[in-house]
């Protein structure tokens, strides 16, 4: 394995580098495998037994303290995110802020109900539910939100009383280490949070380890399917998947078109299009398509490519040279199917960023719903314009993709907006806002091939890391038979 971003050195180590300048090595780490996963799970399991006995409010206080440590280190962490993940500095700050916010939110859940009390059908009897930890949680996280996503997973898992073995992306190992260091410095016992670096070997070992009670994965659909299949085959465990997206922005003729252009540019080209929620399709009513497409293309052409650490940079690099080749290959295939380039479409060199892979913000017009570019996840700065006649056709186009993560509808008609909200088959729908911008206090996740039903963040985030226990207490002093003794 060799790429422009994570380079193997010999057999046992790899380099993490700056994707804007791959010759700049940020750190060298050891590749883990089955043995390292075994050791990490053993440490985690031993630490979890004591942690589970700590009252949830006390666990929450440590999570709150972690948020404070992250806040104190925000500037340095954001610089690390920019250098290791290639996110422009303003977005890198947002990545860290998301983790800070998640710390505060999850800490607040420590004093919230963890179950429900339900009336019994029999006298002198009560029933209620509680949530209990699963033990050790395995986590496989991506590079594109290298601080935020670990916080989405680790904080709820810790609050639930679990220990964690984290396998971060080999493209962002230092960010994961910095997040864990903040947790430990805030008082969370070190053995509760274990990192194993590596690629497929480490991830595969974690997915099937018998000591892992739950597995949380964020990444691509093909890898997610392999992880889920392996985890299911080797034993009962909770498996939560957060996979791809093919997110669409629906634009009706009565929409505020200036707002549409702002949303499309931010949604499609923020993070160089490398978000699972990035706006990939502009599904637009034919009557306003030309005007909006021209304006979006003009704005896209004016975006500045450059070093993410430069405040003047609008769009940073794509993560690897391999990613750049894949993206341009998808654009070329779209042109073969009849699409046209309104702007962009090529890889370019950027002064001062030798070896970095920079993809021009690209707008394709003439895309049909059946084109592969309209159905497959690009994960790059490419926006496909699909013209439709009316809301019903727009909804059909949105729902034609196998993914169901995020969608948006722009209209000034509340009736149209609500019809779209009801009919669009995605886990997240925005009205008059782009497909990116999820907030941590609401559930995050998708339908169809985007996930498997679990949600991250919000009050439901703890569900993937805990088991429900139902309790009945009969204080009648006699045998009572449900469904029998209260019926004639």
Domain ranges of the chain: 6-243+458-471, 247-431
**How far is the C-alpha of 389 from the C-alpha of 408, rounded, in Å?**
17
**How far is the C-alpha of 321 from the C-alpha of 327, rounded, in Å?**
10
DSSP-derived secondary structure letter, 32: P
Distances, alpha carbon 162 to alpha carbons 61, 150, 157, 182, in Å:
15, 14, 6, 18
Per-residue pLDDT at 10? 42
Angle, alpha carbons 102-407-219 (nearest 5°): 55
Per-residue pLDDT at 488? 65
Of the candidates 154, 175, 183, 276, the residue annotated as catalytic is 276
Per-residue pLDDT of the chain (488 residues; tens, 9 = 90+): 233 455 544 458 999 999 999 999 999 999 999 999 999 999 999 999 999 999 999 999 999 999 999 999 999 999 999 999 999 999 999 999 999 999 999 999 999 988 999 999 999 999 999 999 999 999 999 999 999 999 999 999 999 999 999 999 999 999 999 999 999 999 999 999 999 998 888 999 999 999 999 999 999 888 888 888 888 888 778 899 999 999 999 999 999 999 999 999 999 999 999 999 999 999 999 999 999 999 999 999 999 999 999 999 999 999 999 999 999 999 999 999 999 999 999 999 999 999 999 999 999 999 999 999 999 999 999 999 999 999 999 999 999 999 999 999 999 999 999 999 999 999 999 999 999 999 999 999 999 999 888 999 999 999 999 999 999 999 999 999 999 988 76
**How far is the C-alpha of 174 from the C-alpha of 181, rounded, in Å?**
10
Class of domain 6-243+458-471: alpha beta
Q: Do residues 407 and 249 lie in contact, with contact meaning Cβ atoms separated by under 8 Å?
A: yes
- Look up residue 332 and give its two tokens: 């070329």
**Domain 247-431 in the same topology as domain 6-243+458-471:** no
Per-residue pLDDT at 6? 52
- Look up residue 416 and give its two tokens: 């149209």
Handedness of CA 316, 86, 198, 11 (dihedral sign): positive
Distances, alpha carbon 43 to alpha carbons 104, 164, 327, in Å:
27, 10, 41
**How far is the C-alpha of 52 from the C-alpha of 44, rounded, in Å?**
12
Residue 342: name the closest of 305, 292, 379 by CA. Answer: 292
Q: Which residues pair with 165 in a beta bridge?
A: 138, 194
- Look up residue 72 and give its two tokens: 């104190």
Please say if 276 is a catalytic residue: yes
Q: Do residues 211 and 135 lie in contact, with contact meaning Cβ atoms separated by under 8 Å?
A: yes
**CB within 8 A of 255, min separation 6: which ones?**
288, 410, 411, 412, 432
CATH 3.40.309.10 fits 247-431, yes or no: yes
Of the candidates 242, 377, 387, 456, the residue annotated as catalytic is 242
Radius of gyration for the alpha carbons in the chain, expressed in angstroms and rounded:
24
* Whole-structure pTM value: 0.93
Beta strands in 381-484 (DSSP E): 382-388, 403-404, 406-410, 428-431, 447-448, 466-474
Would you give the end-to-end CA distance of the chain in angstroms?
Answer: 72
State the angle between helix axes of 34-51 and 200-208 in degrees (0 to 180), rounded to the nearest 10: 50
Residue with tokens 């791959």: 22
Per-residue pLDDT at 422? 98
Burial label, 488 (beta-carbon count in 10 A; 0-12, 13-18, 19+): exposed
Please say if 154 is a catalytic residue: no
Residue 245: name the closest of 99, 378, 418, 369 by CA. Answer: 378
Q: Do residues 182 and 484 lie in contact, with contact meaning Cβ atoms separated by under 8 Å?
A: no
């Amino acid at each position: 394995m060799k790429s422009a971003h994570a380079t193997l050195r010999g057999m046992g180590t790899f380099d993490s580098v700056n994707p804007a300048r791959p010759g700049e090595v940020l750190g060298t780490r050891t590749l883990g495998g089955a043995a390292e996963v075994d050791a990490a799970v053993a440490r985690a399991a031993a630490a979890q037994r004591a942690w589970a006995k700590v009252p949830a409010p006390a666990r929450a206080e440590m999570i709150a303290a972690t948020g404070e440590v992250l806040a104190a280190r925000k500037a340095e962490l954001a610089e690390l995110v920019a250098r290791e993940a290639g996110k422009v500095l303003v977005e890198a700050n947002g990545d860290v802020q998301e983790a800070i916010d998640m710390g505060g939110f999850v800490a607040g859940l420590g004093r919230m109900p963890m179950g429900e009390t339900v009336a019994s059908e029999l006298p002198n009897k009560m029933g209620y539910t509680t949530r209990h930890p699963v033990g050790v949680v395995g986590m496989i996280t991506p590079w594109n939100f290298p601080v935020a996503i670990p916080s989405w997973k680790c904080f709820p898992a810790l609050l639930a009383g679990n220990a964690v073995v984290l396998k971060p992306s080999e493209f962002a190992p230092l960010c994961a280490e910095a997040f864990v260091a903040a947790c430990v410095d805030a008082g969370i016992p070190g053995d509760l949070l274990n990192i194993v670096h590596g690629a497929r070997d480490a991830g595969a070992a974690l997915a099937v380890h018998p000591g892992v009670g739950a597995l949380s994965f964020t990444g691509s659909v093909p890898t997610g399917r392999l992880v889920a299949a392996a985890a299911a085959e080797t034993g009962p465990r909770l498996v939560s998947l957060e996979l791809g997206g093919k997110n669409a922005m629906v634009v009706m003729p009565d929409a505020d078109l200036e707002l549409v252009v702002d949303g499309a540019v931010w949604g499609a080209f923020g993070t160089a299009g490398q978000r699972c929620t990035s706006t990939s399709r502009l599904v637009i009513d034919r009557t306003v398509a030309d005007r909006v497409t021209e304006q979006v293309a003009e704005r896209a052409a004016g975006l500045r490519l450059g070093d993410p650490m430069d405040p003047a940079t609008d769009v940073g690099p794509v993560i690897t040279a391999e990613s750049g080749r894949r993206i341009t290959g998808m654009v070329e295939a779209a042109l073969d199917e009849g699409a046209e380039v309104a702007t962009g479409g090529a890889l370019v060199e950027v002064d001062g960023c030798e070896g970095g892979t920079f993809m021009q913000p690209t707008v394709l017009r003439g895309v049909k719903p059946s084109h592969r570019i309209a159905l497959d996840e690009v994960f790059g700065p490419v926006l496909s314009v699909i013209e439709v006649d009316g809301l019903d056709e727009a909804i059909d186009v949105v729902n034609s993709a196998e993914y169901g993560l995020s969608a948006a509808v722009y209209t000034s008609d509340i009736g149209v907006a609500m019809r779209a909200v009801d009919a669009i088959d995605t886990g997240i729908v925005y009205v008059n806002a782009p497909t990116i911008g999820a907030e941590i206090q609401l559930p995050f996740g998708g339908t169809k091939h985007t996930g498997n039903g679990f949600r991250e963040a919000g009050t439901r985030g703890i569900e993937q890391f805990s088991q429900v226990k139902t309790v009945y207490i009969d204080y009648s002093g006699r045998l009572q038979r449900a469904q029998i003794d209260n019926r004639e």
